[in-house]
Chain A
Amino acid sequence: MRLEPVAQPTLIRTIGLPALALAATVAIASLLAMVAGAPPLSVLGLILQGAFGSKFALLETLNRATPLIFTGLAVAVAFRARLWNIGAEAQLYAGAVVTATLGTGALAWPSGLLLPSIASAAMLAGAIVLLVPTVLKTRFGVDEVVTTLLLNFVVLLWVSMLLEGPLKDPMGMGWPKSARLIPEARLPRIVEGLRLHWGFGLALIAAAVIWLVQARTTLGYEMRAVGLNRAAAKFAGIPVGPVLIKTALLSGGLAALAGFSEVAGLKGSLTLDISPGFGYTGIIVAMLALLNPFGVVVAALFVAGVFVGADSMSRAVGVPTYLADIMLATALLLMVLALMLTRFRVRWA
């Protein structure tokens, strides 16, 4: 078996193959549902209904999608420049810690001033967390895959220490959680009475901004050039190191906004489990989205829908929620395969 490059992929290839990948994902999920002893069509229907079938379900999905949009954008921005940021989880927690620190009464400012200040500080913290591995990479050639990945555990332990120490809620009955944010530091709901906060709106705005930066600014041009061909970029005079640094600041800042939005929007306080791996799932989201900022929004909704839907399906028919993980893993693998097949033709020799 050999692979031959396809010069100009046809539209059928570029759209048909990813669609086929999704269809195959659904088929495999159905098969597994059958193995688990439930009728596959009802399982899929329940997932769909659980994700998008009611106002409550839809809002739950949008809430779940919010941090995934931020981490997905963070990964997409970095990967575009071939900066392998596997540490969105750490940057998310950095943003969350800053939000919990500044939002629990340390600053008694009005909401209009406080929220932007906290968001900026959170972004700065996330940016710094990614800045360190990036400088190590540009200066000394240290592999950022290793450093960003390992920093996730360092930061998580550090958060754990803070929650057992200085940030621990004195009224928390001994639980490792922070005090609740003051009302001025909470992200308001988009529509009063509906459980959806402005973090979601902020995520959509972030996607649009990132698209604008990538497509319309010299920085975006530089980031794409550095990602596609570092040697040519350097030859043409693009400052590769500084571009990677700027990319890192942007990416780390975006991931930190996920932490900000979860603490200030959804949860209202910091615990050690505010992220069930949003930073890692962001990688899946970004890959499914082909690193396109608007694609990230769609992919995040898909991923969030699968998780939320699988939860509700599981409650209804007792098929384990692991099905959601399997579906996402399958979708990712098949999507990567589909992408390869849009560019290469398989020859059976």
Chain B
Amino acid sequence: MAGTAHKAPVVLRLDRITKTFGALTANDAISFDLREGEVIALLGENGAGKTTLMNILFGQYTADSGSVAVFGKTLPPGNPRAALTAGVGMVHQHFTLADNMTVLENIVLGTQPLWKAGFNRAGARQRILELVGAYGLSVDPDALVGSLTVGERQRVEILKALYRDARILILDEPTAVLTPQETDDLFATLRKAVALGLSVIFISHKLHEVMAVSDRVVVLRHGRLVAETETAATDKYTLAELMVGARIDPPAVQAAPVGRVLIELENVSTPDRGAAPGLKSVHLKIRGGQIVGLAGVSGNGQAALFDVLGGLITPARGVLRRDGAVPGRWSPRAAVAGGIARIPEDRHKTGTIPDFNLTENAVLELYGQPPFSRRGWLNRGAARAFARRIIDAYDVRCPGPETRIRLLSGGNMQKLILGRVLETVPDVILANQPVRGLDIGALTYVHEQLLAARGRGAGVLLISEDLDEIMALSDVIHVISEGRLSPGFERGSKTTAELGVWLAGHGFGEGDSDAA
């Protein structure tokens, strides 16, 4: 190993970590060292074993064999506190903050009794402000966490780790929820942290970020460490191949004739749902032969838009038109019967019933109509045949139609949902984060199916946080921010940076926002 970092002392050593779950080997003898002042990118697809490895490091799981050493001391296995006290801080993908408390209280929480007389609030604030200054983490210590943006909350999480004297920071997919600009800020913070002698493990599957921020890259695939290399000595394409194990070509997007407007929202508003904003005077048209991409940071009204189009909520104000007419009764059943396919964001919570088998899940939207039931009696043979057809046509890998869907991987679960909705030959497809958490094979398959539907004249709404995915597939791109929808941008008319400005909530003119 060449490079500048190799003379620095090792701060974290993973030694032949192995962990199996039944027949699955999640981690297979993984070893690597993290040195002081170094950023290691831990790269791998979903299911490659990154999360398992970090859970072992943090004592959430006990490794079958192997050990973790921090600053030369081996951590006792299965003890979540050990890693924390040894100086390892983790910033999770999903934040662990209390919304109803201030930034200061969140940071201090758990380190000392907050409401006792002995609590030195001024001292704590002083310390936080020092950290804020040193690392460029601009955030107001007295602001309520509930009022912060996602980027600010992430900074609070980082401050929390630093306040506990973390010398090693582990960031799990930190950019997944950030706008491009916020990502740049985060990288600046990481550079400062490294300059101050901290070490960082940066977990990601986004190659350009890995290239931009890391000193070394560790690539995991199917639980094995397949490569460990200096970032400067490699490139994106090599890493992609290492990660996937084969060369992956992006799907070819061919021009398709644009059809008539299939579904349309005119001036639609919905009430806010807790912290999630509702829609604010949204105009949207989805035409046949089009993929309409909806870019936006998660929690900016995507769910409300999806639910309005999918029949789960009726607009509080404004009009929804289907094929030019306002539907009489708008419900999930009406939407499905009217040829709208819905691929929900969360496969486990809303897409499937995990303890139902494949057959029962396949007919979840259709059980009430022939041939799956007549006069209230189920026709189980017809349902099973339908499930078999989906399993064959959509390559769902499973023991059979009687298998509980809980036992399937995310990709196979998604293929079943895809088959369930596409078998009815819908002309509108609403896909909310359809490839989140999928491996690259399943991801490509889902994209191909969406493109095929577009090719036969269906209109597709693709909601995603991944700007690259949106830009690769969409004919028209809208950006959503705090429930407001940008105008539609034609393919290629905006750069990533330009869209980033919209993602951050700028560009929505005064006229677009709703006063009421």
Contact = CB atoms under 8 A, between A and B. Distances in A.
Interface in A168-225: 216-221, 224-225
Nearest to B310: A235
Contacts of A42: none
Contacts of A218: 367-368, 373, 376-378
Interface residues of A, number: 23
Interface in B387-413: 407
B360 A221 contact: yes
B353 interface: yes
Contacts, number: 70
Nearest to A226: B353
Contacts of A7: 21-22, 407
Contacts of A4: 21
Interface string A217-257: 11111001100110111111100000000000000000000
A184 B368 CA distance: 43
B221 to A, nearest CB: 22
Contacts of A229: 349, 352-355
| Secondary structure type dominating chain A contacts | helix
A216 B353 contact: no
B78 A237 contact: no
A228 B407 CA distance: 15
A203 B351 CA distance: 38
A2 B78 contact: yes
Interface string B350-366: 11111110001000110
A347 interface: yes
Contacts of A237: 311, 331-333, 335-336, 365
A349 interface: yes
A216 B367 CA distance: 12
A228 B353 contact: yes
Contact of A232 (B311, B364, B368): B364
Given A237-B331, A237-B333, A347-B62, A221 B349 contact: no
B59 to A, nearest CB: 9
A133 B312 CA distance: 26
B344 interface: yes
A234 B312 contact: yes
B486 to A, nearest CB: 27
Contacts of B310: 235
A216 B78 contact: no
B84 to A, nearest CB: 17
A349 B312 contact: no
Contact of B377 (A8, A217, A347, A349): A217
A221 B378 contact: yes
Nearest to B355: A228
Interface in A257-275: none
Contacts of B344: 235
B377 A216 contact: yes
Contact of B351 (A216, A232, A347): A232
A225 B356 CA distance: 8
A347 B353 CA distance: 28
Nearest to A220: B378
B457 interface: no
Interface string A305-349: 000000000000000000000000000000000000000000101
Given A225-B360, A236-B332, 9 more contacts: A8-B407, A216-B380, A220-B378, A221-B378, A232-B349, A235-B332, A235-B351, A237-B331, A237-B335
26 contacts: A7-B21, A7-B22, A8-B407, A216-B380, A218-B367, A218-B373, A218-B377, A220-B378, A221-B367, A225-B364, A228-B353, A228-B355, A232-B352, A232-B364, A233-B353, A234-B312, A235-B310, A235-B312, A235-B344, A235-B350, A236-B365, A237-B333, A237-B335, A237-B365, A349-B62, A349-B78
